[in-house]
Amino acid sequence: MRSQKCTIVDYGTGNLNSIKRTLDRIGIGCIISSSANDIVNASKIILPGVGHFGKAMSNLNGLNLADVLNEEVLIKQKPVLGICLGMELMAKASEEGNARGLGWLAAGATRFDIGDSDRYKIPHMGWNEISIRKTSRLMEGIEDGSEFYFAHSYHLTLDDPADLLAETEYGTGFPSAIEKNNIFGVQYHPEKSHDVGARLLKNFVEM
């Protein structure tokens, strides 16, 4: 398998080691780093995240990584994959902490508002299906209706439906994957989703 230079961005939150272990298992070299140089020198960027949106953005800004990411992703058009909170950070803003995001997507991050709280617990945790809405290299070899592992209380609301890659139902439909040019994101955790999750990560790094 061809070696890829991939950087998992460490900004103080996220399942960093779980992602790296999955990539190591399938023979893909990837480093974990908070160094701007490692982001600049990477051919692919993974932006993970678990936790609070406002704190995550504060960490990115405090490490002076937001400007670096903007340069690499928006100007140099480097492929980036946001995972869970990492995808939400690509939005303009979030209700969580009323914080501004990176603004890569015409979108906001909204807390689930589901009337049937007995049936649909928040956070949304566990396995759920995705419905793939368009052809994508990220989804090669992944069947429509595949199940991935979710753990989140917020989800994106997209202003541009063209950015929707996959959708999931949990009391309401929400974007479970997005694609806009070189920008990819998944609300679920591929690193916790067994073989289908490993395939998605492999697809991304080998683009």
Please identify which of the residues 84, 124, 152, 155 carries the catalytic annotation: 84
Q: How many other CB atoms sit within 10 Å of the CB of residue 169?
A: 13
Name all contacts of 118-127 with Cβ < 8 Å and 24+ positions apart.
119/171, 120/170, 120/171, 122/153, 123/151, 123/152, 123/153, 124/150, 124/151, 124/152, 124/153, 124/170, 125/150, 125/151, 126/150
Please identify which of the residues 72, 88, 179, 191 carries the catalytic annotation: 191
Q: Is 6 a catalytic residue?
A: no
Q: Are 104 and 117 in contact (CB under 8 A)?
A: no
Could you list the beta-strand ranges (E) of the chain.
6-9, 30-33, 44-47, 80-83, 93-94, 99-100, 107-111, 124-129, 131-132, 147-152, 154-158, 164-169, 173-180, 183-186
What the block records as the tokens of 39 is 């982001």
**Looking at the annotation, which residues are catalytic?**
84, 189, 191
